A and B are shown apart, each in its own frame.
Chain A
Amino acid sequence: MSIRKRADREYSAHLQGTLDLLILRTLVPGPQHGQHIARAIQDQSDDVLIVDHGSLYPALQRMEERGFVEAEWGISDNNRKARFYTLTRKGRKELTREENEWRRIASAIARILGPESSKA
């Protein structure tokens, strides 16, 4: 995953774990293919988080192997063949766990940074 304006490796390494979280969250409404997932993350974050498509698929693969998602070939809206990913029960659990973790860390960081007023 990369972040616009700061496609910095170091930075993205910090956010390594968050890609999984974002993918899982995107799958909550229903099965989706990879391109849609990438798109959805970008759209919902108002183009702040741009998923590096090259990293998306290995991540999906990894999650599939860990049993968080299931995949199946199907036909996309515009009549294209695509591989659709569905959240499994295990994936849902993982999502909750990661979400909580993320929120905990985010709020901790927010406490340290203090109210939003100093420099950007």
Chain B
Amino acid sequence: MFRRRSHKDFQQEIEFHIELEAERLKAEGVSEQGARAAALRRFGNVTAAVERYYESRRPVFLDRLLADGRFAVRNMAKHPVVSIVAILSLAAGIGCAAATLTIRNAIFYNPPPLYSTPAELSFLRTVSLDQPRPQGVPGLEIYLEWRERPEMVAGIAAGVPPRVTNIRSSDGSDEALVGAVSPSLFTVLGVAPLLGRVFSGTGEGEAVIAYRTWQIVLHGRADVIGSQVWIDNRAFTVVGVMPEQFWFVRMGPAPAVWISLDATPIRRNETLDVIVRRAPGVSSSTLEQALQTSIDRYAGSLPEGERDIRGIVEGVEGTPVGREIAPPIVWLFGACVMLTLLISCTNVAILMIAEWTAREREIAIRASLGASRARVVRLLLTESTLLALVGAGLGVAATFVIRGLIFHKSALGSRAFYDLSIDPWILINTALIALAAGLLVGLAPALYETRGLQTNPLRAMRSDRIRQRWRHALIVVEITVTIALLVVTSTMVDAYRRNFSMNMGFDVAPLVEAQIDAPDGNSTQDIVDRLSASPNVASVAAASAVPLMGRGELQRVASENGGATVAANRIFVGQGFFSTLGVAIQQGREYSRVESPNVVIVNETLANLMWPGRSPIGMRLWNAGKNYEVVGLTANYISSMLGRPLPSFYVPLSATTDSGRIVLVVRSKGDPASVIQTVREQVRATSPVHVPTTVTTVRGILNQIGEEIMTVVYPMSVLIAVGTLMTTTGIYSILAFAVTRRSRELAVRMAVGATTKDVLRAVGIHSARLIALGIVCGVGMTFGLSRLAQGKGGVFDSPSAGVFVVPVLIIVVVGALAAWMPSRRALAINPSVLLRSE
């Protein structure tokens, strides 16, 4: 194998050659000194030979690259602050971007972990006029029909939306999320149990439990398989435990249990989550067409006005939280990531320009000594590339740190379900973008700095005007982007936080809500009466929907028959509903125990829409060809997470109302948690048969949803923090640099008689103008962004003037400091010293 010959070895050989030659000459009679001199002469230029050898051995560009690299490192060490800020900017930008994208993917785009070949799986869903968000498939028939279509689906399974209910084992009892699913579900998903087996046959009396259920309810017992659990007082045998990361449809913090759908009585029109594994060659759109046909057939049996149902086929990607949160966030996530990267690249550009401007003399000298323009550009580019490389490397490390931080901060109950391992592609892409940006921001100033270098190197040191324009443009860009990022993200985080701990229009603390699947409607009043009599219950009311539980129906209403209609939410409410909830009746009255079916209560929003500026009491409200008399006006309240008050009207709940399912709101005396058990007991007491019941405190629901949502929104706060930090450093450094550049000018001004005040004013006005321009652009961009986000169905309000206060204040303070500090320093120097130093 050919080994590389060392440079030294070559030199040695030449040395020996010269000695041999000198000896030969000596032997011919030449004197000692003469011989050596002649030998050397004869050899010619030794250095040239060695260099020729050296250059023949390696590509010159590599050599120069190494030299440039060494020089760049030395230079970075010479300007440590600039380099560190630039590197950290890049690293933070990359870290934030990659970590945020990872979380975004985990929440919105990745399929649930463990599912085998998830691309083949599809959910069958529907949307309708009053349910614009995709729901499951209504009606058992459609599911049963699709079970018999092997040409379309290779496997199909369904689940009833799971309910929170009581689960008891010999070790204790707890609340669990119980879902009835087809016995084939686990096979269709291709997920094997961790312990035991999945359902066999119809799965009668069998339960498959989640890993958490095993750990929490059954205390991780080794002999869990075969043990008994009681769900709503029915006994089940645990046959299998699913792996920790497994989830289906819901991934809430409550431990999950699956029982067999085939062995559970369900209502005919129950909404089912249907998942299918598509047969080979069947595309989603083919499936969707076939689904629409079945749905049309089913819809034909529904009352007029409810038939407009559309079938859609969705992939299994994303999480329930992701679905809840809706698309604009995904879009905003991306926008914020881009803004953060933009800020970090702008920072690097600013610092590079600043540093090179300070080195124009060095560049001029290099050019005078014969460096070509390309050579100088390459030198400068090597520096920015090196910077970008180090930044990217650190950025990769930062990604892990930031992810850890977000992970740690979000008290996420269901974090086991997320696959938050960092996708190498995201990392590579972000790092590449930052690297490319680093090069790009290096290239433009490098080309500019070396313009006209060849014609006259020293003339390249000329007026700063164009550089100044660049700097100014960068300051404005940076301020604009910062304000947009800060305001948009904080508005959004704030909107979610408000929803989380929001004023819903009533005090949530004492409230407990229950959803009861009553097989016969007569028991409603019975349950209400029994509960009212309980000592720890202050009041109780029934309704078709209560805040956070159940939904009203969207209806068209008009103020006169056949008049222009308004979409409004219809909710059936029982006696004392508003007082139990704690929502004020502003005019008129609430319903009494026995109520005429022809009266209605409206909320403020609807009243303002229908009768603006007038009292609605005594007015007529038309709905579905029937007219109601308005007897009450109630304050608005918020009934769904992330929602806003909808125009609503409340009609009396009566025994004749179809009440396959009723919801109760209970106001407790003292601890609401104690009421949960009371509700369970009373429900059980009213009915001889099993009544599936979900009972929970309103605070509990809010906490759970809020926690999940904050998980998604949390990364935004990190973006905000890092963005602010980067941007303030950036703005400070560039403004300070601009002022420092003017030291000489300031000195001249002072020398010809300007006062300190004059100078400070001149500098101040200049900086203020830039900052003001940046702020104006930033505010404009923010409104543009929020308009865009709203256009895509965002949940947040237009930014109010208040949210601009903090970002604007930060920028003004940083700007003022950046203008003031260097000018003070410049003014402290004697003008003559400063002028002489040039």
Pair B21/A58 contact, Cβ less than 8 Å: no
Any chain A CB within 8 A of the CB of B2? Answer: yes
Bits for A71-97, please: 1 = Cβ < 8 Å to B, else 0: 000001010111100000000000000
Interface-side segment among B42-50, B131-139, B470-478: B42-50
Any chain A CB within 8 A of the CB of B23? Answer: yes
Whole-angstrom distance between the Cβ of A64 and the nearest chain B Cβ: 8
Any chain A CB within 8 A of the CB of B838? Answer: no
Q: Which of B387-411 contact A (CB under 8 A)?
A: none
Pair B21/A35 contact, Cβ less than 8 Å: yes
Interface-side segment among B12-20, B146-154, B577-585: B12-20
Q: Which residues on B sit within 8 Å (CB–CB) of A55?
A: 44, 49
The CA-CA distance from A30 to B42 in the complex, in Å, is 25
Q: Which residue of B2, B46, B49 contacts A58 across the interface (Cβ within 8 Å)?
A: B49
Pair B2/A65 contact, Cβ less than 8 Å: yes
Whole-angstrom distance between the Cβ of B6 and the nearest chain A Cβ: 12
Bits for B3-37, please: 1 = Cβ < 8 Å to A, else 0: 00100001001101101110110000000000000
Q: Which residues on A sit within 8 Å (CB–CB) of B234?
A: none
Any chain A CB within 8 A of the CB of B53? Answer: yes
Q: How large is the interface on A (under 10, 10 to 19, 20 to 34, 35 or more residues)?
A: 20 to 34
Closest residue of A by beta carbon distance from B15: A81
The answer to whether A34 and B13 touch (CB under 8 A), given A57-B49, A61-B53, is: yes
Pair A33/B20 contact, Cβ less than 8 Å: yes
Any chain B CB within 8 A of the CB of A29? Answer: no
Bits for A19-60, please: 1 = Cβ < 8 Å to B, else 0: 000000000000001111001000000000000111101100
B13, B23, B42, B53 — which one has the most chain A CB atoms within 10 A of its CB? B13
Pair B53/A35 contact, Cβ less than 8 Å: no
Whole-angstrom distance between the Cβ of B764 and the nearest chain A Cβ: 66
Q: Which residue of B17, B19, B20, B23 contacts A57 across the interface (Cβ within 8 Å)?
A: B17
Q: Which residue of A61, A64, A76 contacts B20 across the interface (Cβ within 8 Å)?
A: A76
Closest residue of A by beta carbon distance from B40: A53
Whole-angstrom distance between the Cβ of A25 and the nearest chain B Cβ: 20
Closest residue of A by beta carbon distance from B53: A58
Q: Which residues on B sit within 8 Å (CB–CB) of A65?
A: 2
Pair A53/B23 contact, Cβ less than 8 Å: no
Pair B5/A57 contact, Cβ less than 8 Å: no
Whole-angstrom distance between the Cβ of A50 and the nearest chain B Cβ: 8
Q: Which residues on A sit within 8 Å (CB–CB) of B23?
A: 78, 80
Per the CB 8 Å criterion, the residue count for chain B at the interface is 22
Closest residue of A by beta carbon distance from B54: A58
Main secondary structure of the interface of A (DSSP, over half): helix
Pair B17/A34 contact, Cβ less than 8 Å: yes
Whole-angstrom distance between the Cβ of A39 and the nearest chain B Cβ: 7
Pair B45/A54 contact, Cβ less than 8 Å: yes
Any chain A CB within 8 A of the CB of B465? Answer: no
Main secondary structure of the interface of B (DSSP, over half): helix
Q: Which residues on A sit within 8 Å (CB–CB) of B49?
A: 53-55, 57-58
A55, A57, A64, A83 — which one has the most chain B CB atoms within 10 A of its CB? A57
Pair B56/A58 contact, Cβ less than 8 Å: yes
The answer to whether A61 and B5 touch (CB under 8 A), given A39-B24, A54-B44, A83-B13, is: yes
Q: Which residues on B sit within 8 Å (CB–CB) of A35?
A: 16-17, 20-21, 24
Q: Which residues on B sit within 8 Å (CB–CB) of A82?
A: 13, 16-17, 20
Any chain B CB within 8 A of the CB of A104? Answer: no
Pair A53/B5 contact, Cβ less than 8 Å: no
Closest residue of A by beta carbon distance from B41: A53
The CA-CA distance from A58 to B13 in the complex, in Å, is 11
Any chain A CB within 8 A of the CB of B52? Answer: yes
Any chain B CB within 8 A of the CB of A4? Answer: no
Q: Which residue of B13, B16, B19, B48 contacts A54 across the interface (Cβ within 8 Å)?
A: B48
Whole-angstrom distance between the Cβ of B430 and the nearest chain A Cβ: 43
Pair A80/B20 contact, Cβ less than 8 Å: yes
Whole-angstrom distance between the Cβ of A120 and the nearest chain B Cβ: 27
Closest residue of A by beta carbon distance from B57: A61
The answer to whether A54 and B46 touch (CB under 8 A), given A39-B24, A80-B20, A82-B16, is: yes
Whole-angstrom distance between the Cβ of B30 and the nearest chain A Cβ: 15
Q: Which residues on A sit within 8 Å (CB–CB) of B46?
A: 54
Pair A81/B44 contact, Cβ less than 8 Å: no
Pair A81/B16 contact, Cβ less than 8 Å: yes
Pair B16/A58 contact, Cβ less than 8 Å: no
Q: Which residues on B sit within 8 Å (CB–CB) of A57?
A: 10, 13-14, 17, 49, 53
Pair B16/A62 contact, Cβ less than 8 Å: no
The CA-CA distance from A80 to B23 in the complex, in Å, is 10
Whole-angstrom distance between the Cβ of A61 and the nearest chain B Cβ: 6
The CA-CA distance from A54 to B23 in the complex, in Å, is 18
A52, A58, A80 — which one has the most chain B CB atoms within 10 A of its CB? A58
Pair A61/B56 contact, Cβ less than 8 Å: yes
Q: Which residue of A52, A53, A78 contacts B17 across the interface (Cβ within 8 Å)?
A: A53
The CA-CA distance from A81 to B23 in the complex, in Å, is 13
Pair A83/B16 contact, Cβ less than 8 Å: yes
Q: Which residues on A sit within 8 Å (CB–CB) of B14?
A: 57
Pair B43/A62 contact, Cβ less than 8 Å: no
Q: Which residues on A sit within 8 Å (CB–CB) of B10?
A: 57, 61
The CA-CA distance from A39 to B43 in the complex, in Å, is 12
Whole-angstrom distance between the Cβ of B334 and the nearest chain A Cβ: 54
The CA-CA distance from A57 to B10 in the complex, in Å, is 8
Closest residue of A by beta carbon distance from B20: A35
Pair B56/A54 contact, Cβ less than 8 Å: no
Whole-angstrom distance between the Cβ of B422 and the nearest chain A Cβ: 46
Whole-angstrom distance between the Cβ of A80 and the nearest chain B Cβ: 6
The answer to whether A58 and B43 touch (CB under 8 A), given A34-B17, A81-B16, is: no
The CA-CA distance from A34 to B13 in the complex, in Å, is 8
Q: Which residue of A36, A52, A61, A78 contacts B44 across the interface (Cβ within 8 Å)?
A: A52
Q: Which residues on B sit within 8 Å (CB–CB) of A78?
A: 20, 23
The answer to whether A80 and B16 touch (CB under 8 A), given A54-B44, A54-B46, is: yes
Closest residue of A by beta carbon distance from B14: A57
Whole-angstrom distance between the Cβ of B55 and the nearest chain A Cβ: 9
Q: Which residues on A sit within 8 Å (CB–CB) of B2?
A: 65
Q: Which residues on B sit within 8 Å (CB–CB) of A52?
A: 44
B5, B10, B49, B52 — which one has the most chain A CB atoms within 10 A of its CB? B49
The CA-CA distance from A62 to B14 in the complex, in Å, is 15
By Cβ-Cβ distance, the 9 closest A-B pairs, closest first, are A54-B44, A53-B43, A35-B20, A54-B49, A35-B17, A83-B13, A58-B52, A34-B17, A58-B53
B residues neighboring A (CB under 8 Å): 2, 5, 10, 13-14, 16-17, 19-21, 23-24, 42-46, 48-49, 52-53, 56
6 A–B contacts from the bound complex (CB under 8 Å): A35-B17, A54-B43, A58-B53, A65-B2, A81-B16, A82-B20
